[in-house]
Structure 1
Amino acid sequence: MLTEALQRTHVEVMIEWPNVTASGQRELGLKPEELHKSKCVLGFFPVIYYSVLLCVGVPVNILTAVALSRLASRTKKALYYYLLAMTGSDILSQLFIIFVGFLLETAVFHREVPTLLLHSVSAAEFAANHASIWSTVPLTVDRYVALCHPLLHRQISYPARARRIIAAVLVLSLTSGLPFFWWSDMWRSSHPPTALDAVLTWTHVTIIYFLPCSIFLVLNSLIIHTLRARQRQQCGREELGPNTAPHRRLGKTTAMLLAVTSVFLVLWAPRTVVVIYHLYVSSVHRDWRVHLAYDLSNMLAMLNTAVNFFLYCFVSKAFRGAVRDVLLLRGGPLHPRRALPQQQAHINASSSSLYSGSNKRWRHLTGPRELSSRIPSLTDWKTEGIVLRESFCLPRLNLTY
């Protein structure tokens, strides 16, 4: 009895510390790579975190998509189509990466799924992730052209072109996810990283972080430089006279762009560092500290798929109004308000009377003296110009974004 109790105690100790002796390893049937495998220090916290993030992020992004669809139909601006593409890509990332990758494969099935399915889901995860990040690049380029080249922006920025650009970005993102079918499972791979792992890792961090962040930093720097130059020019004009320079300020759309790109730069930086560290220094499979850092960095990176809604609400009054209409089930006008037939007839009558009065006045001019006495003053011409502009609804060139 005492011998059996000692043996049972010895087995319990070996279960808790499986790498004590070689004989215990053989008794438990554990492989050498399983004995040195790093443990998940966070326990069930990642499962709770991703469940909450999924339950909050998916409804919020669906609400964002509906509100942006209304704004895009109402205003016909390319900006809302780019934001709608970002929102749709975030929904795909939440479904493939959080729901399928982290919750189903890792938490429910413990990655005990067929290898073909595991690699297929990995390729879909990378494709959705690339689409989520690269959908922000056309928005950044659009805002740069709008601020630095406003006349060119009015020629090249329209909904049809925006939809073509978005379709091209989605196709390229799906194509870029195919090589990651051979992505190595960091939690299960006990062997050192191979040359293929190094190529895929550097391709991943370049596509996911270094290349888009370089574009963001360059274009945002040019935008900020342009805004500061205009501000200095405005200050110089105000010194010459109080009414010589129009009031310029940082547009809400530009502020929203800077906020979205800044949040992305901050949230995705830790994961990029950990992936490179795993490749060259220490493995996630063997070091519990790298395992912990990789878990935390993934949590921060996935948080980026659910924060854009709150940034839009904080910055844009039009977006808040659209969200309010959706929540209150109010169908706002999808198209701009048009003039009624009576109002249009009144406008035509007033414009025709204005032209007829001008023609009669000029028809009775007979001499130089009478010509000088009958020429309208500068105030009259300004008044008539205002009436004409309001009558024919001439578009005003608005260069403030």
Structure 2
Amino acid sequence: MTPIENVPTTNLVAIVILSRGKCGLSKCVTRYLVGMAAADLLVVISQPLLMWTAWIYFPQSFLFITPVCSLARWLIFASTAASVWLTVAFTVDRFVAICCEKLKTKYCTERTAAVVIGTVSVLAFLETVPWGFTSEPLVIIDGVPWYCVLTSSYKYSSSWVVFEMFHRIFTPCVPFFLILLFNILTARRILVASRARRRLRGQKSGENDKDREMENRRKSIVLLFSITGSFILLWVTRLVFYIYQRISMNFVYYSVMHPVYIVEETSGMLHIISSCTNTCIYALTQSKFREDLKNAVIYPLNWILKLIQRI
């Protein structure tokens, strides 16, 4: 299996481990992380598996009947929008938890997280519905439309240009801005609180032992910044390419060695990679997640060894 094809397994492992609720995270945070992992899993299923892998191994399959591949194209945009906006929702939740003491008890709850995740997902899927109508058949064989190519109206119609500009601003330009804004405000609050807490502890006892509260805040901010930071870095190339493509009106490349084609495929690869980095981040920043992951790997090995010994 290629690294891209291994991504679904990675996300499934993250969903299973997080759903057990034994990673030392609050139920609210766990809900967001599971929601983000599920959206990322859907991104990987819709793009690398339904499109890329199918194109290589099953080029004549039903997946390339025009209505089916149009549906797959819509699913790519819908799942991507859901993944992006769930990252924003998680960022806002951590901002409220750290910076808004009065609102924290009402907003940072498992029920609110479930409502936010459901609402964001539904809105993301509705906002991307028009993408399912941007394709037309390449050929018609025995009355059956095959393959999907961009319609001429999509390429040159001012209505589609306006829609695409709205979509690109809505996802991911606005999320970029919101994530940076809330991260800066959250970091500022933590720095101010840390200085005040250190002064207070120094005045009270002069102790140098570790402050458990500040240690928990540090872990929370490392997790937040790692997730949102990787999202921004891996999406920048894709965003720049979107802007270039619309300005140049260049949608077709006649060689796989064309520099712009290479940039397009690279940006797509980075976009897909962003759907599997969160699991690596959990493993690097959360000791209990690492412990559960280790147990998940060791358990089947132990079971196989016991089975061999009995034989």
Alignment check: 8 A CA contact 1:145 1:153 kept:
yes
* Residue 294 to residue 124, structure 1, CA distance change in 2 (3 Å): same
Separation in structure 2 between the aligned mates of residue 193 and residue 276 of structure 1, nearest angstrom: 15
Q: Which residue of 2 aligns with 1:139?
A: 90
Q: Are 1:264 and 2:231 an aligned pair?
A: yes
Following TM superposition, by how much is the alpha carbon of 1:101 offset from its aligned partner in structure 2, in angstroms?
A: 2.1
Q: Are 1:218 and 2:176 an aligned pair?
A: no
Following TM superposition, by how much is the alpha carbon of 1:325 offset from its aligned partner in structure 2, in angstroms?
A: 3.1
Alignment check: 8 A CA contact 2:73 2:132 kept:
yes
Q: Which residue of 2 aligns with 1:319?
A: 289
Alignment check: 8 A CA contact 1:97 1:125 kept:
yes
Q: Which runs of 5+ in 1 are unaligned?
A: 1-50, 331-401
Q: Which residue of 2 aligns with 1:361?
A: none
Q: Are 1:306 and 2:276 an aligned pair?
A: yes
Following TM superposition, by how much is the alpha carbon of 1:264 offset from its aligned partner in structure 2, in angstroms?
A: 0.7
Q: Which residue of 2 aligns with 1:94?
A: 44
Q: Are 1:175 and 2:138 an aligned pair?
A: no
The sequence identity of aligned pairs, in percent, is 21
Alignment check: 8 A CA contact 2:5 2:48 kept:
no
Following TM superposition, by how much is the alpha carbon of 1:74 offset from its aligned partner in structure 2, in angstroms?
A: 8.4
Separation in structure 1 between the aligned mates of residue 99 and residue 15 of structure 2, nearest angstrom: 29
Alignment check: 8 A CA contact 2:5 2:49 kept:
no
Following TM superposition, by how much is the alpha carbon of 1:240 offset from its aligned partner in structure 2, in angstroms?
A: 4.8
Count of equivalent residues: 279
Q: TM-score, normalised by structure 1?
A: 0.63
* Residue 115 to residue 307, structure 1, CA distance change in 2 (3 Å): same
Amino acid corresponding to residue 166 of structure 2 in structure 1? T
Deviation string, structure 1 residues 175-208 (Cα, Å, up to 9, x no partner): 12211113368x9559653323312321332232
* SS of corresponding position for 1:251: helix
Q: Are 1:84 and 2:34 an aligned pair?
A: yes
Following TM superposition, by how much is the alpha carbon of 1:329 offset from its aligned partner in structure 2, in angstroms?
A: 3.8
Separation in structure 2 between the aligned mates of residue 269 and residue 208 of structure 1, nearest angstrom: 12
Deviation string, structure 1 residues 303-347 (Cα, Å, up to 9, x no partner): 1111111110100112112223333449xxxxxxxxxxxxxxxxx
Separation in structure 1 between the aligned mates of residue 183 and residue 25 of structure 2, nearest angstrom: 25
283, 294, 308: which is aligned to 2:250?
283
Q: Are 1:122 and 2:89 an aligned pair?
A: no
Separation in structure 2 between the aligned mates of residue 255 and residue 193 of structure 1, nearest angstrom: 45
Separation in structure 2 between the aligned mates of residue 200 and residue 109 of structure 1, nearest angstrom: 31
* Residue 79 to residue 278, structure 1, CA distance change in 2 (3 Å): same
Alignment check: 8 A CA contact 2:23 2:288 kept:
no
- Larger Cα-atom Rg: 1
Q: Which runs of 5+ in 2 are unaligned?
A: 137-147, 301-311
Cα RMSD for the two superposed structures: 3.0
Amino acid corresponding to residue 297 of structure 1 in structure 2? S
Separation in structure 2 between the aligned mates of residue 75 and residue 217 of structure 1, nearest angstrom: 23
Separation in structure 1 between the aligned mates of residue 261 and residue 157 of structure 2, nearest angstrom: 19
Following TM superposition, by how much is the alpha carbon of 1:169 offset from its aligned partner in structure 2, in angstroms?
A: 1.6
Richer in helix (by share)? 2
Following TM superposition, by how much is the alpha carbon of 1:233 offset from its aligned partner in structure 2, in angstroms?
A: 2.3
296, 307, 330: which is aligned to 2:266?
296
* Residue 313 to residue 156, structure 1, CA distance change in 2 (3 Å): same
* SS of corresponding position for 1:71: coil
* Residue 57 to residue 113, structure 1, CA distance change in 2 (3 Å): closer
* Residue 265 to residue 75, structure 1, CA distance change in 2 (3 Å): closer
189, 197, 205: which is aligned to 2:168?
205
Separation in structure 1 between the aligned mates of residue 193 and residue 132 of structure 2, nearest angstrom: 49
Q: Which residue of 2 aligns with 1:382?
A: none
Amino acid corresponding to residue 263 of structure 1 in structure 2? S
Following TM superposition, by how much is the alpha carbon of 1:150 offset from its aligned partner in structure 2, in angstroms?
A: 3.4
Q: Which residue of 2 aligns with 1:35?
A: none
Q: TM-score, normalised by structure 2?
A: 0.79
Separation in structure 2 between the aligned mates of residue 157 and residue 189 of structure 1, nearest angstrom: 43
* Residue 292 to residue 108, structure 1, CA distance change in 2 (3 Å): farther
Separation in structure 2 between the aligned mates of residue 253 and residue 76 of structure 1, nearest angstrom: 11
* Residue 215 to residue 283, structure 1, CA distance change in 2 (3 Å): same
* Residue 98 to residue 207, structure 1, CA distance change in 2 (3 Å): farther
Separation in structure 1 between the aligned mates of residue 4 and residue 259 of structure 2, nearest angstrom: 26
Q: Which residue of 1 aligns with 2:304?
A: none
Alignment check: 8 A CA contact 1:189 1:285 kept:
no
Alignment check: 8 A CA contact 1:283 1:290 kept:
no
Deviation string, structure 1 residues 33-56 (Cα, Å, up to 9, x no partner): xxxxxxxxxxxxxxxxxx613332
* Residue 162 to residue 239, structure 1, CA distance change in 2 (3 Å): closer
Q: Which residue of 2 aligns with 1:60?
A: 10
Amino acid corresponding to residue 309 of structure 1 in structure 2? T
